[in-house]
Amino acid sequence: MVNPETHHEKSDVNVHALLWSVVIFIVFAAVTHLVLYLQFQFYRSIFRGKTNAPLTAVARPADDAVPPEPRLQPFVTRNVSGAVNPPDTNTPVTDMEQMRATEEQALRTPGWVDRQRGIVWLPIEVAKQLAVERLGVAAAAPAAVARPGAAAATQGAHP
């Protein structure tokens, strides 16, 4: 039995077009990689300072060791030994260390707040001891005042 509407394929996949698409894909990938490689080399030469073009038209000030005011992060100009710090040595870590050292020194050493009025700051432990001593003296004084009155009241109650 023969069906006139049923046919088989006369050809397979177009191999010629398939090969051209693969070749075009490979060429496009190679060109893309080459462009990216050249771009990377260009940026690397800029960041390593191999180009002579200035990055900005603004002239740097003669004394640029310390950034101008206002500074977003406090800038310590001298280190512990007194030497001048370069601008890139101050980091959040060193800021935290310096802040903690300053706070620790304020907590451990006495000093004047206002010498004319006689106001001082004391280490915490000394302030606690003084507070306990003052509270002890203040608590003992009312008890001493209350005893003579209490004794008089008890004497008047008994004949």
- Segment 36-62, tens digit of pLDDT: 999 999 888 877 765 566 666 677 666
Q: Choose between 121 and 146: higher pLDDT.
A: 121
Q: Choose between 37 and 113: higher pLDDT.
A: 37
Q: Which of 3-12, 49-58, 103-112 has the lowest mean pLDDT?
A: 49-58
The whole-number pLDDT of residue 142 equals 64
Three-state SS for 4-56 is CCCCCCCCCCCHHHHHHHHHHHHHHHHHHHHHHHHHHHHHHHHHCCCCCCCCC
Q: Choose between 18 and 56: higher pLDDT.
A: 18
Q: Compute CA 132 distance to the chain's CA centroid, rounded to the nearest angstrom.
A: 40
Residue 97 banded pLDDT, cuts 50, 70, 90: confident
The whole-number pLDDT of residue 54 equals 60
Spatial CA neighbour of 41 closest among 32, 53, 50? 50
Spatial CA neighbour of 65 closest among 48, 54, 52, 78? 78
Q: 0.85 exceeded by the pTM? A: no
Q: Choose between 22 and 48: higher pLDDT.
A: 22
